[in-house]
Structure 1
Amino acid sequence: MAIFTSSRRHFVGGLVAAPFILPAAGRAQLPFADYPFTLGVAAGDAQADGFVIWTRLAPDPLDPHGGMPMAEVPVDWEVAEDEHFRTIAAKGTEKAWPELAHSVHVEVTGLKPGRPYWYRFRCAGERTFAGRATTLPAPGSRVDRVRFAAIGCQHFEAGYYTAYRHAAEDAPDFMFHYGDYIYEYSPGFVLDAFDRPIEAVRRYATREPFSLDDYRVRYAQTTTDADLQAARAAAPWYCTYDDHEVQNNWVSEWAQDGTPPETFLLRRRAAFQAWYEHMPVRRSSFPDAQGVAHMRRRVDIGDLIRLHMPNTRLYRSDQPCGDGFKPLCAEASAATQQVLGKAQESWLEEGFTSSSQHWQGVAQQVMMAPIDRRTPDYPNAQPTYNMDSWAAYPGPRERILALFDRHKGGNVVVVTGDEHQNWAIDLQRDGRTVASEFVSTSITSGGDGHDLRPGNEEIMRDNPFLHWTNDRRGYLLSDITRDAWTGHFRVVDAITRRDAPIATAARWAVQSGQAGLVSA
């Protein structure tokens, strides 16, 4: 798969000045009060013969119904082999239904493998800007290089999405969104890494969401950001959800605040529907009769990498020991504890066993490494762990590490989000490194941050399998070749001002056939 070239950078740059200034028919003839494509376009879930393309009609995006009439509206779409749309590869019409907030999900098929396409939508004389997406290489074909960005944790009020603009300009073949697309917090509830209030850079328009209308407005306001729209239009996304799409630290049917499960599930149903409506995902993620948006994926990129994307929220046991940062209690070792659930563990094992790819990647939501969190802020006598991470579930974690350990080809890398910090870690079993983990920081959550978070000197000292950590905002860029998987930790020095430059804080790599990270 070819890495995108400078022509894409020109395309992305063209979105900066005026993302919504497009040719249009007279608005007096429209059924809308204003331009309907205020939320831009996106592509996702790429396969060798196509991908999903997405948009949503929302002339008034902060209205619960987007300013739309309560009726279905036809939307035309087209996919082209060139950015000027001279050679149309596929086209059609899809209805935007009020039941789905007039969102449109088109599963485009019949395209050629391993090449870029451009797509756009039209409705009532208006059209979107063009997005770009690349199909995956043909199954089993030789692939020598792929690049993807791991992104997420994007609290709207905490800062500007400058890092998204840079991620688009880094020209990844695709992006993995590890969750926390929205934050469900009340307006003005913005905290730093130590849970201290910091100034909101911008404000949510509505209260903490509980209903479907609430969640729709929260997603819409987030998606109006032009830098985010540039990233969504630049490459196909593989979207997952973590906790803040519903409520902080929820798992399965359990709310963080003790809401009875039967009541919490009403909120979760609304949140899942709004997530589906705003993500470029396939019909397989459509909420089922119980309102559950099932999300797990497996992607083969030729013979180079198989990327597994499990769900670590939906099937997990409630956080043991009362959640928080604390020593393990007896509950953590209960035989019934689950992170992935039995069916998903079997799915992951089958995926490893049947793969002939050179690399195995696991792109998921919460840290796998058992980091001892003791610092001056957590001065416990015993090792202290994040109860909302794999460290709090030693049984399930041991089963996953055993899977990595027995994989015939080695070359296992885990990519994670959630932590709002960068981490470069070796995953060890019985004192041996069986995989490595790149933890990507947040886009904005946690504020501007520090090069090294205060107190993390102790964490570096107490966790010898931890090679490096950093507390700036940004994303992880993975360059994967047959020789190495290299993680570029891309950071900005501030998200409280616009247009901060991007820099690479560190590079760490796993060499093919050699366990453990090395500085690159």
Structure 2
Amino acid sequence: MPGAQLSTLRVGPDKVVRGGLTRRRFLTWTGVAAGLATAPTLFATDAASAPAPRSGGNPFTLGVASGDPLPDGIVLWTRLAVDPLARAGGMGAASHRVDWELAADEGMRLVLRRGTTTATARGGHSVHVDVRGLAPATDYFYRFRALGETSRVGRTRTAPAAGSPVGQLTVAMASCQSWADGFYNAFADMARTAPDVIAHLGDYIYEKPIPPDGGARATTAMPASAHRECATLDDYRDRYALYKLDADLQRAHATSPFITIFDDHEVDNNWAADIPEDDQPIPQFVTRHAQAIRAWWENTPTRVSAPGNGFRAYRRFVFGDLATVSVLDTRTHRSDQVNGDNDTGQNAATADTRRTITGVAQERWILDGLSASRTRWNVLAHQTPIADLAHDDNGIRAVSMDGWSGYEASRDRILDGARHRRVGNLVSIVGDIHRNIVSELRSTYTRPSPTVGVELAGTSIASGGDGQDSDDQDRALKAGSPLIHFGSSQRGYVLHRITHTQWQAEFRVTDSIGDPGAPLHRRALVTIPDGRPDIDVI
């Protein structure tokens, strides 16, 4: 391949050169960030000046959702918006009563739990109901009522009891759903499959401006803020509303519980802790970051506490005796990217033992969780690849500085720690890179090192457009990374079927996301046997 083509290659397709601007370290701003997170005016919005909701409007235009399944509980979510493309969703400054019901049947005749909560302007008129006292491994159905209207009925499912025998767990994996790049065919396919849980691993929205013509969707029906980069809480709320209007995304949310974690575009491309992508003044970015994470929380069916001092997004889920899933946050606690955050060779900066992608506390939490696990499979669910996905850049073995390959010592500590603890059946599931890649997990890739697990990277829902079965980047990565066992770059998702004897990952893709009716098909079936990090691809 010509060198000119490879010189602009990026493992993370959203990762851009920063135009010569230097990203500075502002570690002294940690205290400022903590103070701003609790400032009473931080979450002030335009809702106070918005008119009262019009009478007769449907407040459930953004759908319903559930998430963070436990053996005895589930979080139910909705967000009221009678005019979803208007500021504050057309709900004004008033608070509104929301009634909810949870039943054993889809017809909602056998109601088991009911209650009332309040949707406030401060909370973006979203509600999170943490229903407890439920039976494990059980399907439930739910709905909401507000302003004289009733929502659609959603289906959800609790997790199996810890340690209980589980025959099979189905997990769909999604990430990167740039609204303007195409339709959400993958979510329509997920809704038909109805997996036990859907793991959304980041880039639920994109903060960048949307073309006036709506891009691949060819529509001008967008909030006024859609044509500029998100900067305020109201901007981020607008963007979530636009995305959540998608009918296929709503169907997926109404079919299966989601476990969700943010990546970079929910805030700002390639942000790291309190450091922005560009030279935005740090006090402004700290405020923007807090508001963006607030909008993520408002629009996510999560049990995570509302953002503020002590906010922690990483968490763990146990599914019977079958799988322990540790959901990581590799944005909030990481060190700044090095080498200009460009794909380049590893060096003393990437090997610096003081740098971390998880933060010290989360690193300890990961290793303690792996040590304590009593399930057959041990899963790290997170944002960016652990494996070195290397390619040749004019004679340089180049890797991403945004993924774990730019944080070698951090990777070493966790993977070597897992090996020393004799952690078996370690599987990493990730998004971010807009392509499917199956590779081996090793603590280092530049010298002999034992394989300690398998990494399954899933393609994007929509980001990057249709893609190809194999493009220049796919071929370059396969040439530069001999531990890659499979790769493709069409849009879709991964459906995992997990049993005691094997892990099967079905990579489902579509030929076009420009056509909302285009079906998905199986591109590959990857099997990992119990007890060995072997990879079989069909």
Fold shared, TM-score > 0.5 on shorter chain: yes
Report what 1:186 is aligned to: 209
What stretches of structure 2 of length at least 5 have no aligned partner? 1-52
User: Aligned to 1:245, which of 247, 259, 266?
Assistant: 266
Whole-angstrom CA distance in 1 between matches of 2:502 and 2:427? 11
Report what 1:448 is aligned to: 466
- Alignment of 1:463 with 2:481, yes or no, is yes
Report what 1:103 is aligned to: 126
Q: Contact (CA 8 Å) 1:152, 1:417: kept in 2 or not? A: yes
Report what 1:330 is aligned to: 348
| 1:330 Cα offset (Å) | 2.7
Q: Contact (CA 8 Å) 1:411, 1:515: kept in 2 or not? A: yes
AA matched with 1:348: I
Residue aligned with 1:515, SS: coil
- Alignment of 1:423 with 2:443, yes or no, is no
| 1:496 Cα offset (Å) | 1.2
Aligned counterparts, 1:361-510, within 5 A: 361-374=379-392, 379-429=393-443, 430-510=448-528
RMSD: 1.8
Q: Contact (CA 8 Å) 1:32, 1:68: kept in 2 or not? A: no
Whole-angstrom CA distance in 2 between matches of 1:317 and 1:456? 29
The number of aligned residues is 479
Report what 1:350 is aligned to: 368
Report what 2:324 is aligned to: 306
Report what 2:145 is aligned to: 122
Whole-angstrom CA distance in 2 between matches of 1:140 and 1:458? 44
Report what 1:14 is aligned to: none
Whole-angstrom CA distance in 1 between matches of 2:455 and 2:174? 15
Residue aligned with 1:383, SS: strand
Aligned counterparts, 1:226-237, within 5 A: 226-237=247-258
AA matched with 1:221: L
AA matched with 1:402: D
Which one is further off, 340-349 or 30-39?
Answer: 30-39
- Alignment of 1:287 with 2:307, yes or no, is yes
Whole-angstrom CA distance in 2 between matches of 1:125 and 1:53? 19
Report what 1:51 is aligned to: 74
AA matched with 2:153: A
Q: Contact (CA 8 Å) 1:321, 1:387: kept in 2 or not? A: yes
Residue aligned with 1:160, SS: coil
CA deviation map 1:444-464 (0-9, x unaligned): 000100000124323212211
AA matched with 2:431: G
- Alignment of 1:278 with 2:303, yes or no, is no
AA matched with 1:42: A
Whole-angstrom CA distance in 2 between matches of 1:124 and 1:428? 55
Whole-angstrom CA distance in 2 between matches of 1:427 and 1:462? 16
Residue aligned with 2:363, SS: helix
Percent identity, please: 39
Q: Contact (CA 8 Å) 2:176, 2:204: kept in 1 or not? A: yes
AA matched with 2:82: P
| 1:202 Cα offset (Å) | 4.5
TM-score scaled to structure 2, two decimals?
0.86
| 1:64 Cα offset (Å) | 1.8
Whole-angstrom CA distance in 2 between matches of 1:366 and 1:416? 6
TM-score scaled to structure 1, two decimals?
0.89
Moved over 4 A (4+): 198-204
Residue aligned with 2:365, SS: helix
Whole-angstrom CA distance in 2 between matches of 1:260 and 1:342? 26
Whole-angstrom CA distance in 2 between matches of 1:37 and 1:293? 28
Q: Contact (CA 8 Å) 1:358, 1:409: kept in 2 or not? A: no
User: Aligned to 1:341, which of 331, 356, 359?
Assistant: 359
| 1:361 Cα offset (Å) | 0.7
CA deviation map 1:147-176 (0-9, x unaligned): 000101000000001110101112210000
Which one is further off, 180-189 or 509-518?
Answer: 180-189
| 1:518 Cα offset (Å) | 1.4
Residue aligned with 1:490, SS: strand
Report what 1:139 is aligned to: 162
Identify the structure with bigger relative contact order (alpha carbons < 8 Å, sequence gap 6+). 2
Whole-angstrom CA distance in 2 between matches of 1:31 and 1:501? 39
CA deviation map 1:217-248 (0-9, x unaligned): 01101101100000111110001000000011
AA matched with 2:376: H
Q: Contact (CA 8 Å) 1:401, 1:434: kept in 2 or not? A: yes
Aligned counterparts, 1:19-168, within 5 A: 32=55, 34-168=57-191
What stretches of structure 1 of length at least 5 have no aligned partner? 1-29, 192-197
